[in-house]
Chains A and B, each alone.
Chain A
Amino acid sequence: MATKRDTQLSPLAIVTYGAVALWLIIAAFPFLWTFWGSFKVQADFFSKADWTNALYGVNTVRETGGAFTGQGYEGAWVKEEFWKNAINSTVVVFFTVTISLTFGTLGGYALARSGFRYAFWILFAALVFRAMPHITLVSGYLLPFFEWNIWGIKPTTIIVLVAINQPFTLWMLHSFFLNIPKDMDESAMVDGCTRFQAFRYVIIPVMWPGVITTGLFSFLLAYNDFAVTAMLLSEENETIIPAINSFLGSDQVEGSIMFAVAAVVSVTAPLLVLVLFFQRQIVSGLTAGAVKG
């Protein structure tokens, strides 16, 4: 129940609402702008003459006859067969998230339950590992991967993404497991369970909120990754982000920038659904997890 004091519009509340409203505009504006502009031609959306062209579509009308055009979408999805990249991304992201979480929950649980000093040093090492710039790692992988003939295939990229995202996953899940009372699994072990059985039957049922939260972050890392996927995947395994990059063109030739814009808008849509769907879990997951960590 809201009390009178909560519902009253005090000056502080007005300032707060104003600030939140401002933030929401700043957060949403570029996306809305992009969404609107994705139905224009490049000369309008990236107009060098007058930015209002992006609103009214002067060149769009001149070139296509209407104020809106689906050329970008058609080009990306039909001509460039962007759906193949979408499928590749789905596969890569699904396995990356699944494997990351499996490795991460096992490791995070062990780190949270071990009182020995080496547990801290493993966490510390994970941070140092995370500090390594990805671009150096990727350049180092190239030659051995070519030598072993495992370059270009999805499993290689998946395991690399899993490995370089492990430090974050491990830290997050570790702090989450710290908040699940020790008594739960230890009493199960007193009752004769092995450690793994205690993990399987006592911990797994209560860990989902934290795992889903961590999973969402792993998902975003894998999904938005460019450094790794651009260098380690062959053409037919290319995921969406490098594909979008290839729409942008090079110094030599003009790209199809509107394909990239349309592709970005279309791949953000499923993300929104995902966020809406998991919104409650994200929040409850973090609540249970990192807060008291």
Chain B
Amino acid sequence: MFLKNLALAGALAGLMGSAAIAADCGPSGHSVRVLGSDFPAIQAVTGTAETNCAANAGEFTITLRDNTRDLMNQALTPNPAEYTSVIVANSTLTQLMNDGLVRPLNDLVEKYGANLRPNQLITIDGDVMAVAFMANSQHLFVRTDILEQAGVEGIPSTVEEVVAAAEAIRAAGIMKHPLVMNMNVGWNVGEVFNLFYFAHGGELFKPGSAEPNVNNETGVAALNSIKSLIEYAHPDHLSQASNETQGLWEAGQAALGIMWGSRGGAILDGEGSTDEITSNTVLAAAPTVAGGAIPAATLWWDGVTIAKNIPDEDAEATFAALASALTADMVAEHNDDAIWLIEGFQPGPAAAGVSATAAGGAKPYPMIPFVNLMHNALGSELVDFYKGDETAEEALADVEAAYTTAAKEAGFLN
């Protein structure tokens, strides 16, 4: 596949001696085995690392698959682990750290991290646990032509303005359901709650404990904000995730959307859509709620970790190889593949939404050990509220009950 070609390119470059321009690949002859999800930014990072350092390593393999998250913990548990590095995001780093499967990188960063910016380092109590290279978040997508047609001025910046704009579009008879949101039951429903709960200033857990803290006024307010939006969403919204919402957008069936920034590039390219749609699509900051200042979004990063259960030399070689890829040169070559956190990134139109959302002070997705359990409980229990079968309070009480059951089993609560 794609990887094999890169391997070949890497080997050739190595033979000709031109790859080793400046890359410091650490101790030679050791094993580098990287696991990650399969998308362009990760392909760019791992591919560059391979080009730079495959010749130096005794073994260099890259495994990019869709279900990385489902097997990475088991893969890193044996000693030696199946992989020397896993490329993770906020929530998956938590999953690895819960089982103590990744090592602190402080000394490695000191030795090989000359290219890294300080804000790329993910530290927990001073220990660098991961090195981030790209960012992502949800934000607002807007069709300016349709807003104009409906007589809405400017780009909505609050949920209330989004609702008003949607109403204006509906009233003008342009679209009955002008809004798209990823409301697919499960992970997406949980995530949407997070966005609005954080924007309302909520905290998922009582301070300093694993006790749930969602069944309160803030939680109800968040649910009501969401409800006011989905009033204008496609009737099938509870079965729509990114693929469906992007499809609706590209077919011109929506004028306002809360979608992932990483889909911006795909929406703005001509494929699957018409010029009329792409040229009028603007990526803007996520809206704020109820007069607050926090955009309704969670900020995500993807980054590099190094496994704990491997020989130190392998760890060093792996980190050196990956760090050699996190440079301005790599970004220059793959500028539009992601919203890079690395030096030298030139934000294009596809990055505008995420940049504005981050600048607006959106919260990062929390890295709390039990956050995945809460997320899952939210994802499965809030549906009854959206379907109109339960009140907000009942649904939130169910969330707390489901979370408590799971957290007890996982040992976080007694």
Contacts and interface: CB of A to CB of B under 8 A. Distances in A.
Contact of A42 (B187, B263, B272): B272
Contact of B262 (A80, A84, A147, A252): A252
A129 interface: no
Interface string B372-403: 00000000000000000000000000000000
A43 B65 contact: no
Contact of B71 (A80, A142, A235, A257): A142
Interface residues of B, number: 41
A147 B82 CA distance: 9
A63 B271 CA distance: 8
B253 interface: yes
Interface stretch (A15-23, A45-53, A210-218): A45-53
Interface in A67-99: 80-81, 84
A48 B77 CA distance: 44
B37 A41 contact: no
Contacts of A257: 243
A234 B71 contact: no
Interface in B90-136: 136
A66 interface: no
Contact of A43 (B37, B40, B187, B272): B272
A122 to B, nearest CB: 32
A114 interface: no
B244 to A, nearest CB: 8
Contact of B40 (A48, A149, A230, A253): A253
A235 B247 CA distance: 29
Contact of B77 (A49, A62, A143, A245): A143
B361 interface: no
A146 interface: yes
Interface in A103-129: none
B410 to A, nearest CB: 16
Interface in A236-256: 245-246, 248-255
Contacts of A81: 1
B67 A249 contact: no
Nearest to B248: A48
B74 A142 contact: yes
B82 A246 contact: no
B246 interface: yes
Nearest to A42: B272
A151 to B, nearest CB: 7
B263 A49 contact: no
Contacts of B40: 253
A49 B38 contact: no
Interface in A129-155: 142-143, 146-147, 149, 151-152
A253 B263 CA distance: 6
Given A43-B250, A81-B1, A254-B263, A249 B243 contact: yes
B250 A246 contact: no
A149 B243 CA distance: 36
B251 interface: yes
Nearest to A47: B251
A59 interface: yes
A71 to B, nearest CB: 11
Contact of A151 (B3, B82, B241, B247): B82
Contact of A48 (B64, B67, B247): B247
A137 B263 CA distance: 35
B252 interface: yes
A235 B63 contact: yes
A250 B70 CA distance: 14
B246 A231 contact: no
B247 A46 contact: yes
A143 B251 contact: no
Given A43-B250, A59-B272, A231-B71, A252 B260 contact: yes
A253 B37 CA distance: 10
A250 B77 CA distance: 26
B78 A48 contact: no
A47 B252 CA distance: 11
Given A80-B1, A146-B82, A147-B78, A250 B263 contact: no
B278 interface: no
B113 to A, nearest CB: 26
Contacts of A43: 250-251, 271-273
A81 B243 CA distance: 24
A195 to B, nearest CB: 44
A84 B2 CA distance: 13
Given A235-B64, A246-B65, A48 B262 contact: no
B400 to A, nearest CB: 26
Contacts of A251: 182, 187-188, 241-242, 260
B376 to A, nearest CB: 15
A48 B37 contact: no
B266 interface: yes
Contacts of B39: 250, 252-253
B221 to A, nearest CB: 27
Contacts of A62: 274
A245 B266 CA distance: 20
A49 B251 contact: yes
Contacts of A250: 37-39, 66
B67 A231 contact: yes
Contacts of B263: 253-254
A87 B75 CA distance: 26
19 contacts: A41-B272, A46-B247, A48-B247, A48-B250, A48-B251, A81-B1, A142-B71, A146-B74, A149-B78, A152-B82, A231-B71, A235-B65, A246-B38, A250-B66, A251-B188, A251-B260, A252-B37, A253-B263, A254-B263
Given A48-B248, A250-B66, 4 more contacts: A63-B271, A147-B77, A251-B188, A253-B40
